[in-house]
Amino acid sequence: MFLQAFRATVAGLMAGSLILVATPIGNLGDLSERAIEVLSDVEHIYCEDTRRTRALLSAKSIPGKGRLVSLHEHNEEARVSQVLAALEAGESVAVVSDAGTPGISDPGQVLVANAVAHGFDVTTVPGPSSVIAALVVSGLPTERFIVEGFLPRRGKERAERIAEFKVETRTIVILESPRRVAGTLGELALSLEGERKIVIARELTKLHEEIWRGTLEEAESAFAERELKGEVVLVLGGGTPRTKKDVSDTEIRSFVETAMADGLSRRDAAHDAAELFGISRRRAYEVATSHLTPKGLT
């Protein structure tokens, strides 16, 4: 009787709520009791891949028939009105990704923003996250860190993102496909100066979990010929804090020229360089224009 009353109370509290539910990143034992209760009681479960979620529910004896709806990067925008209508009707909606916490490099962010904007309750059942799991076992500083997610696959945007790591002093968490790990390590080693530490976490919480630690140079060599499987998280140590004198005129000018190639004016590019490198706007603009003739400044 008590359990039934408790579940009824939980269901009442969830009515008209959007609930982000964290699911295991590998070990099924990491699905919490509260997550099981919520996934058992909600009217709708929006999931990245209905097949994977159905398998998870089946493993935990949670009925899923008629409640599973796909929500992935290609249809999230289109699902918003559907979810908002369900919330308006007082129905509870759970959102799960294939693994980990939805909204972190997985679908969910767009849906949450819209639900919040329309005044609906948004809550979470916290739990597994590959980002946090890799970070806390890395041995690298955790007081301040940034989550880069997946880097752009190619082109100027990728090069610029990696270039930003040169002056980033916080620990950096990067998600990567096993097929692209070797290439990414090579690019990082080529671009970043000094003995930057890196931890490569693979198959976290699973039978063949691997946590590799070393420098970028060592990692590039160790993984150059390896064929990897499973989810991979790179945890990159931050760079040494730089003073204004550490930034060369060549670096500033190179950044400005790259930004201008992407459409910024010279003045705006210099402004961005000042913020990125922690230098004065005056110095950035003087360097950006020092090689130009008076005619070139007009």
The full length of the chain comes to 298
First to last CA, the chain: 81
Do both 20 and 113 map to the same domain?
yes
- State how many domains the chain has: 3
CB 128 within 8 A of CB 206: no
Do both 10 and 111 map to the same domain?
yes
Do both 175 and 226 map to the same domain?
yes
Do both 38 and 96 map to the same domain?
yes
pLDDT at 146 over 50: yes
DSSP H or E segment with residue 210: strand 210-215
Q: Which of 215, 236, 257 is the last residue of a domain?
A: 236
Do both 182 and 232 map to the same domain?
yes
Do both 14 and 103 map to the same domain?
yes
How much is the mean pLDDT over the chain?
Answer: 90
SS3 percent helix, strand, coil of the chain, rounded to 5, is 50, 15, 35
- How far out from the chain centre does Cα 204 lie? 16
Give the pLDDT score at 3: 46
In sequence order, the 6+-apart residues with CB closer than 8 A to the CB of 56 are 23, 24, 28, 31
Do both 269 and 170 map to the same domain?
no
pLDDT at 166 over 80: yes
Q: Which of 188, 207, 236 is the last residue of a domain?
A: 236
Local confidence band at 2 (pLDDT 50, 70, 90 cut-offs): very low
For residue 268, what are the domain limits? 244-297
pLDDT at 142 over 80: yes
Do both 12 and 67 map to the same domain?
yes
CB 160 within 8 A of CB 272: no
CATH number of the domain residue 50 falls in: 3.40.1010.10
**Measured distance CA(189)–CA(19) in Å, rounded:** 40
Q: Which of 77, 94, 128 is the last residue of a domain?
A: 128
Give the pLDDT score at 243: 59
Instruction: Provide the residue type at 21 as one letter.
Output: V
pLDDT at 78 over 70: yes
Give the pLDDT score at 247: 81
Query: What pTM does this model have?
Result: 0.76
Q: What is the pLDDT of residues 177-219, one digit of tens each?
A: 999 999 999 999 999 976 899 999 999 999 999 999 999 999 9
Do both 122 and 135 map to the same domain?
no
Do both 47 and 157 map to the same domain?
no
Structure tokens at 204: 């976290």
Do both 6 and 55 map to the same domain?
yes
Do both 32 and 71 map to the same domain?
yes
**Measured distance CA(18)–CA(273) in Å, rounded:** 41
**Measured distance CA(28)–CA(9) in Å, rounded:** 27
